[in-house]
Amino acid sequence: MLRKLSLSIRKIQGRKEIKENITRFAKWQEEIAQLKANNNNAKKLLIIRLDDIGDYLLFRNTLSAYRESPKWQGYEITLLGNVMWRSVYEFADNNAADKVIWVNKNEYFDNNEYREQLWQSLRNEDFDTVICPSRARPIIIDDACMLAAGATHNISGNNDLKYDEWNLLSDKLYTALYTAPKPIHEFLYNVAFANWCCGTHINISRPHINTPEVTTSMSKPYILCFVGGSKKSHRWPATHWIELIELCNKDGHYDFVISGGNGDTDLADTIAAKVQVNNITGKVTIPEVAGWMHQAAGVITNDTMSAHLAVSTNTPTLIVANGDNFYKFCDYKGAGFAKTDCVYPQHFLSEWKRHNYQPFKNYVAVTKDISTITAGRVYTALKQLLNR
């Protein structure tokens, strides 16, 4: 009953969100239309990638394809990026583009002057071509910035947002659209899109990232637990992490390190107060977290950016997930990536079984779902993964 009520409330909120964003986008289109026309004389390419850190981690290995492709030879390449993953870009990808324009998304949405200055700066660049590689493009930022650039050629894929009204509106704005052949993992989609867009074949089979040297001072092999997550429905409860670590401590094979973002310090402190762990939450940068992951015997993580970071370090990775967008982000194992596995709530598993364990869209989890995953199930899955 509570699940049905929660889903009904979300549906009502969704209809309101559709209307509000379409109204806002129409208003911003009118403002963008007042910008001075672009000359489109220069060979200048703008790549728009404004989604979150996890999405960037699954895209970044394809970024070099645009520079190396004969199709874009002679073009000056500018990346329009989310400032949230600037540290990752500057550590691992600093030469992938000729220029980078960093966007603070909070400022973009809340500050009219900031947003209008960004639009004007994009128009002033005189871009010939804009590429939007994101599979799910928010119309009020990705598409609005594409329109602000005023380029002749605008390239993207069929939008895959959760609301068809947004997708139909978005797709009409582009001069060329890529259609994915089937529902596939986000990393594989990014590779396929880059191959289509660049007319090339990228020889990469998994996400990878170079990691900095870090001094862990750990006396024996350790498991890194990334306990944070941007959404409450993606965060496994502190009590479950504590129970899991207690179960593992009985075996005595591994020490434990817990990590998270700056907003996860209270959660991490709660766990650290109950069990013996090394708590690095909020004390290290994202590249340094990758270094800790690279040296770990295994990583357990919520379905958040850390899952993609761990897989990129080629460390055995176990993801605790609620099932939302599972085929895009969580199901590395089903997509053919070794040393990965995922633990889902039983409710999701029942739905997946009903779909014959094939990818399916539009599954919606509620906040309580992830708490139904027991520490015992994660403990068993971890042992199986490490033994494998």
pLDDT at 70: 93
Beta strands in 133-229 (DSSP E): 153-157, 176-178, 222-226
Q: Which residue has the tokens 């400022």?
A: 107
pLDDT in tens, 156-178: 999 998 888 889 999 999 999 99
Length in residues, the chain: 388
Asked, for residue 336, whether it belongs to a domain, the answer is: yes
Asked, for residue 75, whether it belongs to a domain, the answer is: yes
Asked, for residue 27, whether it belongs to a domain, the answer is: no
Asked, for residue 184, whether it belongs to a domain, the answer is: yes
pLDDT at 16: 75
CATH number for position 102? 3.40.50.2000
Q: Could you give the CA distance from residue 383 to residue 360 in angstroms, rounded to a whole number?
A: 29
Q: 301 and 187 in one domain?
A: no
The residue from 163, 198, 233 where one domain ends is 198
Q: 269 and 328 in one domain?
A: yes
Q: Which two tokens stand for residue 65?
A: 């394809």
Q: 267 and 149 in one domain?
A: no
Nearest to 60 by CA among 98, 99, 104, 92: 92
Asked, for residue 361, whether it belongs to a domain, the answer is: yes
Asked, for residue 217, whether it belongs to a domain, the answer is: no
CB 122 within 8 A of CB 149: yes
Q: 140 and 37 in one domain?
A: yes
Q: 293 and 331 in one domain?
A: yes
Nearest to 127 by CA among 230, 33, 190, 47: 47
Q: Could you give the CA distance from residue 357 to residue 340 in angstroms, rounded to a whole number?
A: 17
Q: 242 and 161 in one domain?
A: no
Asked, for residue 6, whether it belongs to a domain, the answer is: no
Q: 189 and 44 in one domain?
A: yes
Q: 274 and 187 in one domain?
A: no
- For the chain, the domain total comes to 2
Q: Coil, strand, or helix at residue 318? A: strand
Enumerate residues 6+ apart whose C-beta is below 8 A from 304: 54, 226, 228, 229, 230, 234
Q: 148 and 281 in one domain?
A: no
Q: 134 and 239 in one domain?
A: no
pLDDT at 11: 62
Q: 371 and 229 in one domain?
A: yes
Q: What's the domain range around 98? A: 33-198
**Rounded to the nearest 10 degrees, how much is the dihedral formed by the CA atoms of 336, 339, 345, 346?**
70
Q: 376 and 236 in one domain?
A: yes
Give every residue of the chain whose pLDDT is below 50, as ranges. Answer: none
Asked, for residue 209, whether it belongs to a domain, the answer is: no
pLDDT at 364: 86
pLDDT in tens, 59-68: 999 999 999 9
